[in-house]
């Protein structure tokens, strides 16, 4: 009698909360913002702190990332008045981001 080998499940699974990039924004320069947007598009959730930016610069960056998140069908979570989490739709599927936010 012949038996098929069982496929091993991937035990190297990386939770979304393990990929979070936390950044204190000091500038609204396009090169910095585009680099972060690329990381978000590649699946890394971003926690961005806007404390050091003036209101106009912070609003510009938030508007840009809102568009990126909209395109990815993701979500934006407010952590506090100047700190936000930006993530694509898939990042919320495993529940690790929700648990991360609950533990803040």
What does pTM read for this prediction?
0.80
pLDDT in tens, 32-58: 999 999 999 999 999 999 999 999 999
| The three-state (H, E, C) secondary structure of the chain, written as one string | CCCCCCCCCCCCCCCHHHHCEEEECCCCCHHHHHHHHHHHHCCCCEEEECCCCCHHHHHHHHHHHHHHHHHCCCEEEEEECCEEEEECHHHHCCCHHHHHHHCC
Structural domains of the chain sorted by starting position, each given as residue range(s) with its CATH number in brackets: 19-102 (3.30.110.150)
pLDDT band at 12 (very low <50, low <70, confident <90, very high): low
């Amino acid at each position: 009698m012949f038996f098929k080998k069982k496929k091993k499940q991937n035990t190297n699974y990386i939770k979304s909360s393990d990929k979070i990039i936390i950044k204190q924004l000091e500038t609204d320069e396009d090169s910095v913002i585009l680099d972060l947007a690329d990381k978000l598009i590649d699946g890394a959730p971003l926690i961005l702190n806007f404390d050091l930016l003036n209101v106009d610069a912070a609003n510009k960056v938030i508007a840009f990332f809102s568009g990126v998140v909209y395109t990815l069908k993701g979500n934006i979570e407010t952590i506090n008045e100047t700190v936000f989490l930006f993530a694509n739709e898939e990042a919320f599927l495993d529940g690790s981001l929700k648990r991360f936010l609950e533990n803040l």
